């Protein structure tokens, strides 16, 4: 079978959910037996989002092979229950750097290097990829039609649709249908203008997906079909939902996946197997209990900064038939006097990843509170390092214990740099990244949580490590190194004795949690938090606040 290509573009406004639409389509097609992959093309000139502030672009998602990528790749993995790689996220920065490097090496034989054909050829090369086993490749293009920076991508799609041949390429255009409450009308004009803009660049949309807060009528479908040159059945409604995991089923009811397969002349005989997915939705919507998890971080005003953690809590809560309500706590607001105010009603405390020294003291106070009050605690990456610093200060009585990240000249750096990191000047792509092996201590809680596996693999994204000089002191005082990298001796997990649950992990377990396969660490954390304090579930309009 000749490989098929789906291109997902957006118009009118950003943040309409191209990533969710792409992931939903991929999940539906995979459930029919097709081999699917999804890639994201981002028009910004960073090489990758690794050096971006989370407030700029949300969470940075990390793949098994150590690529720092757009958060949409997290959606792809969670929906498809399969891993992505560095080839699944391409930026303009990477494209232009490759072309410029090639020019310096003389690859273009003296030709004048231009956007067309050199930039567009490099984009097409990345879209087509190397030889791979996939039947259908879905490519999401970041930004919106009309943005000057995405023009090379739009031109590349135009060329590819022509080169791939009839029925081998398909364009899905996602737009907004605004609802004017004063008149009670859904307006189609912004979508018409967006499609016209796309056509001015030589691309005819094959399918329209319309984001809307109200159901669209048959008349509106027909109007859009008439003015946008698509079939009425190719106008798909994407209505606002309480949870993103409803979207694949809502799209399937409108034959979205069938329309795509029919365009490609591919079989639709095999119906999608959505049994596990629907079971997840049923359990999610009918929890028995509710818990409140305090998420302590410094980027809490933008929830997308912790997107994978949020979704991992959803997966774990659903598996346990528990509704997880997140209490967002800015670490900079915490002090000795307001601890009870913030933590008196919570079931567990999670200290989130982060960088820099802002809000560190509040995180240390949070870890101390969880340790002393015997509250379930999970520290992720920086969260583990915070737990180590707090323990050193208040149990080992090393009052000057610090991290070299916040004080390069610390007298007692319980968190420090590996030797090979000390001479690094370039910040982008130089942290410990991707899948690393971890040996678990038999008899520990984490050993039990992972099903008594002696070795696990988890993804990393950090530069600073536990300082093994202090390892014996911590172990003797009751904080044990229960996870060790067998190749480097680096500490991967620290667990506190005589506590209901107090675990810090250097890795990022949230990256591996999916709808079908919730991560065991989050599953256990939610379960033990429920045992500490839970409530009868009270349905509210917003599921996770």
Active site residues: 381, 508, 510
- Label the pairing between strands 289-297 and 535-536: antiparallel
Secondary structure letter of residue 426 according to DSSP = -
3-state secondary structure of 190: helix
| Spatial separation of the C-alpha atoms in residues 447 and 482, rounded to whole Å | 8
Secondary structure letter of residue 115 according to DSSP = I
3-state secondary structure 257-305: HHHHHHHCCCCCCCCCCCHHHHHHHHHHHCCCEEEEEEEEECCCCCHHH
Give the tokens for residue 124: 């097409």
Judge contact between 78 and 516, C-beta under 8 A.
no
Distances (CA, A) of 257 to 6, 22, 232, 262: 12, 11, 15, 9
Judge contact between 440 and 482, C-beta under 8 A.
yes
Closest among 307, 303, 354 to 331, alpha carbons compared: 354
Alpha helices in 379-470 (DSSP H): 382-394, 445-449
- Residue 394 neighbours by CB under 8 Å, 6+ apart: 368
């Amino acid at each position: 079978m000749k490989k098929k290509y789906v291109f997902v573009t957006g118009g009118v406004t950003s943040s309409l959910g191209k990533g969710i639409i792409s992931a939903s389509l991929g999940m539906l097609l995979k459930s029919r037996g097709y081999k699917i992959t999804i890639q994201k093309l981002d028009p910004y000139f960073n090489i990758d989002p690794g050096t971006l502030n989370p407030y700029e672009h949300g969470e940075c998602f990390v793949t098994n092979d150590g690529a720092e990528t757009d958060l949409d790749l997290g959606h792809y993995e969670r929906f498809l229950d399969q891993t992505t790689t560095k080839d699944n996220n391409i930026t303009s920065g990477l494209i232009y750097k490759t072309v410029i490097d090639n020019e310096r090496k003389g690859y273009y034989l003296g030709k004048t290097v231009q956007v067309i054909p050199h930039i567009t050829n490099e984009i097409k090369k990345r879209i087509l990829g190397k030889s791979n086993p996939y039947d259908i490749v879905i490519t999401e293009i970041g930004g919106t039609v009309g943005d000057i920076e995405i023009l090379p991508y739009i031109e590349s799609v135009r060329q590819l649709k022509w080169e791939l041949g009839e029925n081998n390429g398909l364009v899905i255009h996602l737009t907004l249908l605004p609802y004017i409450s004063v008149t009670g009308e859904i307006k189609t004009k912004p979508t018409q203008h967006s499609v016209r803009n796309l056509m001015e660049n030589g691309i005819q949309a094959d399918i329209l997906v319309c984001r809307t807060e109200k159901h669209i009528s048959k008349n509106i479908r027909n109007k859009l079909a008439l003015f946008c040159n698509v079939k009425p059945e190719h106008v798909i409604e994407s209505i606002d939902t309480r949870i993103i995991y409803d979207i694949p089923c809502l799209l399937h009811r409108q034959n979205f996946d069938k329309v795509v397969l029919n365009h490609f002349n591919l079989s639709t005989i095999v119906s999608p197997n959505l049994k596990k997915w629907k079971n997840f939705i049923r359990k999610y919507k009918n929890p028995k209990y509710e818990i409140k998890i305090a998420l302590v971080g410094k980027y809490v005003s933008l929830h997308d900064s912790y997107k994978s953690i949020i979704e991992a809590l959803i997966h774990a809560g659903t598996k346990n038939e528990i509704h997880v309500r997140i209490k967002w706590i800015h670490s900079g607001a915490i002090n000795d006097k307001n601890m009870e105010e913030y933590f008196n009603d919570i079931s567990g405390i999670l200290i989130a990843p982060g960088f820099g020294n802002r809000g560190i003291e509040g995180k240390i106070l949070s870890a101390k509170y969880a340790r002393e009050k015997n509250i379930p605690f999970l520290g992720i990456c920086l969260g583990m390092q915070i737990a180590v610093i707090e323990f050193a200060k208040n149990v080992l009585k090393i009052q000057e214990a610090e991290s070299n990240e916040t004080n390069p000249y610390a007298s007692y750096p319980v968190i420090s740099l590996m030797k090979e990191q000390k001479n690094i000047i370039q910040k982008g792509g130089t942290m410990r990244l991707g899948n690393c092996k971890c040996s678990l201590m038999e008899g520990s809680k984490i050993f039990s949580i992972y099903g008594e596996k002696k070795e696990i693999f988890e993804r990393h994204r950090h530069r600073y490590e536990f300082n093994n000089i202090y390892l014996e002191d911590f172990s003797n005082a009751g904080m044990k190194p229960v996870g060790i990298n067998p190749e480097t001796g680096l500490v991967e997990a620290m667990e506190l004795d005589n506590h209901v649950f107090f675990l810090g992990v250097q890795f990022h377990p949230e990256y591996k949690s999916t709808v079908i396969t919730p991560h065991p660490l989050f599953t256990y954390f939610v379960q033990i938090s429920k045992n500490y304090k839970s409530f009868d579930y009270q349905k509210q309009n917003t599921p996770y606040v």
